Amino acid sequence: MSRLFGTDGVRGLANEKITAELALGLSIAAAQVLGESARALGRKPKAVVGRDPRASGEFLSAAVTAGLASAGVDVHDAGVLPTPAIAFLTADMDAHFGVMLSASHNAMPDNGIKFFAQGGHKLPDTVEDQIAARLHQDWVRPVGAEVGRVHRNKAGQARYVAHLLAALPNRLDGLTVVIDGAHGAASAVSPEVFRLAGAEVIEIGTAPDGLNINDGYGSTHLGHLRAAVVARGADFGIAHDGDADRCLAVDHTGAEVDGDQIMAILALALQERGKLAGNTLVATVMSNLGLLQAMEREGVEVIKTGVGDRYVLEKMREGSYSLGGEQSGHVILLEHGTTGDGVLTGLMLAARVAETGKSLADLAAVMTRLPQILINVKGVDTSRVDTDEELQSAVTTETDALGDSGRVLLRKSGTEPLVRVMVEAATADQAHDVAERLAGVVRARLAL
């Protein structure tokens, strides 16, 4: 039986998989599990709830709020804010947990529900499974004064902006930056904080209407950002996803600067300031081999984890490391946040440009990306990826042939029903050929 929770909460088509009934039930179950410590002390649990601007978030957040309050939890509704803002507010307001309604970079029809534990940390698998197990179980309904109260938190954005500004090592005066908000949760916050930090800001993708989130804009669609940066002569551009827990960039020429390059730049900035804890960067197995080679050259150790910023965070907390993240643009700066924060990442990247006087292109040149091909194979049995002997034999054969000049990675997606085939090689043609061969084996061996 598959888990209800994926690598980043529960996600799917809103009003089909992610229904009001599910949101209500999950919030009640979460109240039982995550509010237990407060009730043990005779206190009412407190929760912060936020959402991105997609239309379905309106009814889903109402269902979550109703479920929590009916289960005796005082709810602080922060409205539309980035996921990392809800994580921050959960800690800043000493709430017992937080809830975010978002499907991140997914298209508008999808939505999702994710929880933060006390302190603003993502939940471990075991706690998520406890919440799933409590779904539809009997529970004691509070009555009278014991029901939860609902408060509209109007100061959440200002508190988050102040937190971001306090994290900056230097101002951004003199920089011109294009911000692409993906018509998502950072549409108001990101331009505001960049301007307050001293940058001249040009906005695109910052007019959410509930239906246009991630639609042609944001970190998965960089075309508009590239065009705007070049046309306006900006120093660089920053792109967020729908809930702004990730950040990608483009330099002044319009060339993409991905999460691996961003981590390389920030790792060296922290190393220079003596703030790269353990002289270590935590990255996932999806990070480009070029990042590993660059960090080895610069004397920075790289620890690799499974895919998902939650696993990066777990390793970071385990070793008290200060920097980690993913190629996709989830970057965690543990001194300042408990989860990937696209606005914070963009600010720190801009601060490095301002501090050094170098262009983003020059800073990103610290690493050379090896050609990487990613093929998503749909319509297959993802449960057999690691156990099919012929498939694993094909992976071993291709890996041996690449040697030290490349690598192969097969994994099932944690958020979608598909298998990802990733190949890096010395040339794009070689990477493409290997990836196509392996994708063919996946289709043949894992056919439904």
Report residue 407: phi and psi, to 5°. Answer: -160, 165
pTM of the model: 0.90
Contact by Cβ (8 Å): 67, 60: no
How does residue 415 score in pLDDT terms, banded at 50, 70 and 90? Answer: low
Whole domain around residue 393: which residue ranges? 372-445
**Shared domain check, 392 and 352:** no
**Least trusted range by pLDDT, from 74-83, 191-200, 303-312:** 303-312
What integer is the mean pLDDT of 409-437? 89
Q: Give domain status of residue 246, yes or no.
A: yes
Which of residues 134, 154, 174 is at a domain's end? 154
**Shared domain check, 378 and 360:** no
Residues annotated within the binding site for Mg(2+) are 104, 241, 243, 245
**Shared domain check, 268 and 311:** yes
**Shared domain check, 213 and 143:** no
Residues annotated within the binding site are 104, 241, 243, 245
Q: Return the CA Rg of the chain.
A: 22
Q: Give domain status of residue 89, yes or no.
A: yes
**Shared domain check, 276 and 220:** yes
Q: Give domain status of residue 160, yes or no.
A: no
**Shared domain check, 172 and 149:** no
Say which DSSP state 110 is in.
E
Which of residues 125, 154, 183 is at a domain's end? 154
Span 373-414, pLDDT tens digits = 999 999 898 888 889 999 999 999 999 999 888 899 998 876
Q: Give domain status of residue 159, yes or no.
A: no
Catalytic (active site) residue 104? yes
Say which DSSP state 326 is in.
-
Residue 448, pLDDT score: 79
Which carries the bigger pLDDT value, residue 8 or residue 245? 245
**Looking at 81-186, which runs of residues are DSSP E strands?**
97-101, 110-117, 150-152, 176-180
The answer on pLDDT for 124 being more than 80 is: yes
**Shared domain check, 95 and 240:** no
Which carries the bigger pLDDT value, residue 418 or residue 226? 226
How does residue 159 score in pLDDT terms, banded at 50, 70 and 90? Answer: very high
Classify residue 143 by burial, with Cβ atoms within 10 Å: 0-12, 13-18, 19+: exposed
Q: Give domain status of residue 4, yes or no.
A: no
Residue 8, pLDDT score: 81
Residue 311, pLDDT score: 87
What residues contact 411, with CB distance under 8 A and at least 6 apart? 285, 307, 385, 419, 420, 422
| SS (HEC) of 251-302 | CCCCCEECHHHHHHHHHHHHHHHCCCHHHEEEEECCCCHHHHHHHHHCCCEE
**Shared domain check, 248 and 191:** yes
The domain total for the chain is 3
> In CATH, what number is assigned to the domain containing residue 228?
3.40.120.10
Which of 61, 104, 187, 287 is labelled catalytic? 104
The answer on pLDDT for 416 being more than 80 is: no
Which of residues 126, 154, 182 is at a domain's end? 154
**Least trusted range by pLDDT, from 10-14, 32-36, 416-420:** 416-420
> How many Å apart are CA 425 and CA 403, to the nearest integer?
9
**Least trusted range by pLDDT, from 74-83, 115-124, 185-194:** 115-124
Q: What angle do CA 410, 415, 420 make, to 5 degrees?
A: 20
Q: Give domain status of residue 301, yes or no.
A: yes
Residue 2, pLDDT score: 66
Residue 403, pLDDT score: 87
What integer is the mean pLDDT of 104-133? 94
3 state SS of 224: helix
**Shared domain check, 378 and 243:** no
User: What burial letters (b/e) apply to 345-359, b meaning 16+ CB within 10 Å?
Assistant: bbbbbbbbbbeeeee
**Shared domain check, 73 and 147:** yes
What integer is the mean pLDDT of 203-230? 97
What integer is the mean pLDDT of 345-355? 98
> In CATH, what number is assigned to the domain containing residue 401?
3.30.310.50
In DSSP terms, 110 is beta-bridged to 13
The answer on pLDDT for 1 being more than 80 is: no
**Shared domain check, 304 and 185:** yes
> How many Å apart are CA 209 and CA 268, to the nearest integer?
39
In the chain, % of residues over pLDDT 90: 86
What integer is the mean pLDDT of 307-332? 92
Span 233-289, pLDDT tens digits = 999 999 999 999 999 999 999 999 999 999 999 999 999 999 999 999 999 988 999
Q: Give domain status of residue 2, yes or no.
A: no
What residues contact 233, with CB distance under 8 A and at least 6 apart? 176, 252
On average, the pLDDT of the chain sits at 95
**Shared domain check, 174 and 137:** no
Q: Give domain status of residue 123, yes or no.
A: yes
Contact by Cβ (8 Å): 259, 282: no
How does residue 17 score in pLDDT terms, banded at 50, 70 and 90? Answer: very high
